[in-house]
Structure 1
Amino acid sequence: MVRTFWHSAWWLLVAANLFWAGNIVLARGLAGQVPPVSLAYWRWTGAFIVSVGFAWPGLKHDLPIMLGRWKMMLLLSATGIACYNTMSYIGLTSTSALNVLLLQSATPLIIIVWAYLLFRETPTIWQALGVLVSLAGVGAIAGHGSLQMLARLHLARGDLWVLGGLLIYALYCVILRQRPAVRPLSFLVVAMGIGSVMMLPFMLWEYAAGARIHGGPWSYAAIAYTAVLPSFVAYLLFNRGVELIGAARAGQSMHLMPLFGSILAIVFLHETFRIYHVFGIAAIAAGIGLASIRAAPGRATVRNPTTT
């Protein structure tokens, strides 16, 4: 079962997006209790501590290879670990979890743009159509089934922080193909370690400014959750999914985050399930299905973004 799961891209991506949706909801709940940069720092430091023991046997072989590609490792660690997560947590201090979840659905489109700008890759008609259909589903949930309500949505300062982080993370997804040809776990552990070091000066600056962790054991338990499932586990699963089907198709799975986030809000925050959730969920699922259709031979498509 484990082998089947590891070779099934969409099961991997579904699990990763579920953990990430939970992370966004939880991070919003921690706003005011845990400073954003501290949350990002301890998340990745904890993830590094948890995972380094599992990766150690392979690291002894893979570390020299990554040292030989140190510039690319710095870039991937900055874009995929340090910048994106820190900016998202800063944004969550002044916007809602729902807004952040909805903004995540712009990621597949941004990935397609980055892939074209950097590698002149064009999406298939199915990928482009899938993005549009999934965005329509997200819009149905965001606007509660009303075009008037959707039109009244606006971007707050926190939303801009999150959008900036998504632009950087989409770049990470596209350049992930350039990562050193090492074991996925080895790459992830080293990237987490480098990203943690990058965030350390900013965390110390935040601490010097008077920011402290409040909330007692609950806050520390929440940080522990972010260190394991949305970090170590989810990134390992997502990187494997990108390896199997490419950045553009894997990025389409991020439309699942607002879907899962809505369900989590219904279960844990007792929000009401409405008919527009049904239409939104159906459209998101249809869009992902369209984006999964492979191009016919000879048609332009986005190439597999990893070399392993």
Structure 2
Amino acid sequence: MAFAASLFRQHVFGNAFLLLILTTLMWGGNTVAGRLAIGEVSPMAVVSLRWFIVAFVMVCVTRTDLKEEWPLVRTNLGRLILMATFGFTGFNTLFYIAAHHTTAVNLGIIQGAMPVLVLIGAVLTFGVRVRALQVLGILITLAGVAMVAAQGDLQLLLNLSVNPGDGIMLIACLFYACYTLSLRARPKISGMVFFTVLSIIAALTSLPGFFYELATHTLQMPTPKGWLIVLYISLFPSSLAQIFFMRGVELIGPSRTGVFINLVPIFAAGLAILILGEPFHTHHAIALVLVLGGIWLSERKASPK
């Protein structure tokens, strides 16, 4: 048993590239899970059950560290509540609502624009200086997102007619970009405790939406298939992927880790086609190239003089 654990730490938990590929694969699978949940469980039931399951698992894993670091957590509780509400509850609520109105391919491609939204936010919030190449990358990425939202039809954009699901997903990405920017001033607590506290807050802040669905008779508790979807979302994209991502940051640093997020739209599109049988149109291919190419341009470092 000890040998197997040592082997896991060395060849899996010590391999940043494997961990990050698995992370983005699980996040890509989340877009498919969002579509599969339709008719099996309502959006706020997914969000609420997801975070209660994650919170339970994380408290069991980190209860000793959580008790030790609680004084620091308590002094930063207001900031942590805002971070969890925007990054976890808000993002996921809008994500699963959007999944009822657009395809998993669209969800993945729009989600792929998140690094550029973070860059724009860093410029507006912190005055981060950008190079001409980064500005070009931002414009190209936004063009790709616009192409998806307009379903490849320029006339729809000119008439400001956008698929509601794509619009909701874009707002969800803005929520997560705000959360990502707030990580710059994250309280000095360990990563696992930080994630545990945010998952607890997310579980609690998801309850108003849950009770709203209950009051409006739109709440649907999971069917047997729905429970499998909720468990997948809870254990893989929400728990393991987050832990693997944090470990990846520890091993190779945040800037190199962030590049792997570009794999999410590729995995999302591939899984949507394989599992859901969704069509992949020409405008999807063009948009995917624009989004990934724009991110590549925006992340290129200046050449040394």
Q: How does 1:43-62 map to 2 (within 5 A)?
A: 43-62=50-69
For 2:254, the equivalent position in structure 1 comes to: 245
Specify which of 185, 197, 222 is matched with residue 178 of structure 1.
185
1:210-248 C-alpha deviation (Å, 9 max, x unpaired):
1343663111111011111110122233345566224xx
Specify which of 8, 14, 38 is matched with residue 45 of structure 2.
38
State TM-score, norm by structure 1. 0.79
Q: How does 1:65-214 map to 2 (within 5 A)?
A: 65-123=72-130, 149=152, 151=154, 155-213=162-220
1:37-89 C-alpha deviation (Å, 9 max, x unpaired):
11111111111112221112321222221112112211211111111101111
Tell me if the contact between 1:111 and 1:251 (Cα under 8 Å) persists in the aligned partners: no
Identical aligned residues as a percent: 30
Compared with structure 1, are the counterparts of its residues 236 and 3 closer, same or farther at alpha carbon in structure 2 (3 Å cutoff)? same
Tell me if the contact between 1:91 and 1:159 (Cα under 8 Å) persists in the aligned partners: yes
Q: Distance in 1 between matches of 2:276 and 2:167?
A: 25
For 1:301, the equivalent position in structure 2 comes to: none
Compared with structure 1, are the counterparts of its residues 53 and 264 closer, same or farther at alpha carbon in structure 2 (3 Å cutoff)? same
Offset, 1:112: 0.5
Tell me if the contact between 2:47 and 2:93 (Cα under 8 Å) persists in the aligned partners: yes
Tell me if the contact between 1:107 and 1:251 (Cα under 8 Å) persists in the aligned partners: no
Aligned AA (1:2): R
Q: Does 1:24 find its partner at 2:31?
A: yes
Compared with structure 1, are the counterparts of its residues 38 and 79 closer, same or farther at alpha carbon in structure 2 (3 Å cutoff)? same
SS at match of 2:54: helix
Tell me if the contact between 1:137 and 1:283 (Cα under 8 Å) persists in the aligned partners: yes
Q: Distance in 2 between matches of 1:99 and 1:279?
A: 12
Aligned AA (1:22): G
Q: Distance in 2 between matches of 1:12 and 1:4?
A: 10
SS at match of 1:254: helix
Compared with structure 1, are the counterparts of its residues 32 and 287 closer, same or farther at alpha carbon in structure 2 (3 Å cutoff)? same
RMSD across aligned C-alpha pairs, in angstroms?
Answer: 3.5
Tell me if the contact between 2:84 and 2:202 (Cα under 8 Å) persists in the aligned partners: yes
Q: Distance in 2 between matches of 1:209 and 1:277?
A: 36
Q: Distance in 1 between matches of 2:67 and 2:10?
A: 24
Q: Distance in 1 between matches of 2:15 and 2:294?
A: 19
Q: Distance in 2 between matches of 1:293 and 1:233?
A: 29
Structure 1: segments with no counterpart, 5+ residues: 299-308
Aligned AA (2:208): P
Q: Distance in 2 between matches of 1:168 and 1:199?
A: 15
Offset, 1:5: 5.6
Tell me if the contact between 2:104 and 2:272 (Cα under 8 Å) persists in the aligned partners: no
Q: Distance in 2 between matches of 1:14 and 1:261?
A: 13
Tell me if the contact between 1:48 and 1:189 (Cα under 8 Å) persists in the aligned partners: yes
Tell me if the contact between 1:139 and 1:150 (Cα under 8 Å) persists in the aligned partners: no
Aligned AA (1:105): G
State TM-score, norm by structure 2. 0.79
Specify which of 229, 247, 263 is matched with residue 256 of structure 1.
263
Q: Distance in 1 between matches of 2:109 and 2:293?
A: 17
Tell me if the contact between 2:152 and 2:283 (Cα under 8 Å) persists in the aligned partners: no
43-52 or 127-136, which deviates more: 127-136
Offset, 1:32: 2.8
Q: Distance in 1 between matches of 2:136 and 2:15?
A: 23
Q: Distance in 1 between matches of 2:209 and 2:281?
A: 42
